[in-house]
Amino acid sequence: MKTDFDTLRLRPFEAVIFDMDGTILDTESVFKTIVFEVCTDLGFEMTEAVHMSMVGSSHETTNRLLVEAYGVSFPYTQFDERCRITMRERTHEGVPVKTGARELLVELRERNIPMAVATSSRSPHAQTHLAAVGLIDMFQTIVTRDDVINPKPHPEPYLLAAERLGVDPLVCLALEDSPSGVRAAHAAGMQTIMVPDLVHPSDEIRALGIAIMESLDHVRHAAFPAH
């Protein structure tokens, strides 16, 4: 898989579908701290390996991973509630936007290329955080965990986003930071670029996308080489 945006040439695309946490918004690093703290408070020791397996996962998958790691006594409902409350407290004024995100969104809007979000997060989380940083109006549609039966790594979130945009998935560009998201976008038939946040790609994940890029700035330069 190519990593140099100077040599990468994307296939033509008619829409761009973004993951949110870790791709547009720098929420994953904040949430990581919270996950470790809450686990400690509940009497469990979070590890890097368990946390990495959770990144980009849905509510249900996270529940299953934690029960597998710590046993059926793990109080997932309490864990989930505490994490959500703490996240709201620490991000009520908004979270940082990832490098290059605003510039890429503006470029796409100026070129009249439709955009969507496909996230494993629930609707209140997505709506609140995108609104807080002034980006919510950039997107024609936002697909959340509440909108689909099958979350990532199933392709349903990406297929639904493309359907709502009225664009064939095969001519959509998908931007993701997690292995789960890359699997979902690739399974939907989309041209997929991974912009890693906390999790680095395995050889398997590298093979699924067309590139691994350092930031959304690199994506913008690859998509629009004149810049």
Is the pLDDT higher at 28 or at 68?
Answer: 68
User: Which pLDDT score is estimated for 122?
Assistant: 93
Task: Specify the pairing of strand 211-212 against strand 191-194.
Answer: parallel
Cα dihedral 36→38→40→43 (10° resolution): -140
For residues 159-175, give the mean pLDDT. 98
User: Which pLDDT score is estimated for 2?
Assistant: 43
User: Which pLDDT score is estimated for 7?
Assistant: 55
User: Which pLDDT score is estimated for 212?
Assistant: 95
Q: Quote the Cα angle for 206-209-215, to 5°.
A: 85
Residues in contact with 48: Cβ distance below 8 Å, sequence separation at least 6, in sequence order? none
Task: Specify the pairing of strand 191-194 against strand 115-118.
Answer: unpaired
Residues of the chain with pLDDT > 90, as a percent, come to 80
pTM of the model: 0.87
Token reading at 143: 């697909």
Kindly report, residue by residue over 74-102, the tens digit of the pLDDT. Answer: 999 999 999 999 988 888 777 899 999 99
User: Which pLDDT score is estimated for 36?
Assistant: 97
Taking the C-alpha atoms of residue 114 and residue 168, their distance in angstroms, rounded to an integer, is 12
Does the pLDDT at position 54 exceed 60? yes
Do the beta carbons of residue 197 and residue 22 sit within 8 Å? yes
User: Which pLDDT score is estimated for 1?
Assistant: 42
Do the beta carbons of residue 44 and residue 67 sit within 8 Å? no
Residue 117 CB coordination number (10 Å) = 24
Residue 203 — pLDDT band, cuts 50, 70, 90?
very high
Sheet with 172-176: strands ordered across: 141-143, 115-118, 15-18, 172-176, 191-194, 211-212
Does the pLDDT at position 227 exceed 60? no
User: Which pLDDT score is estimated for 178?
Assistant: 93
Taking the C-alpha atoms of residue 72 and residue 12, their distance in angstroms, rounded to an integer, is 48
User: Which pLDDT score is estimated for 95?
Assistant: 86
- Half-sphere exposure of residue 150, counting CA atoms within 13 Å on the CB side? 11
- Concatenating the DSSP letter of every residue in 127-168 gives HHHHHHTT-GGG-SEEE-GGG-SS-TTSSHHHHHHHHHHT--
Does the pLDDT at position 140 exceed 70? yes
Token reading at 161: 């986003």
For residues 3-32, give the mean pLDDT. 85
Check the CA dihedral 22-102-141-184 and report its sign. negative
Does the pLDDT at position 4 exceed 60? no
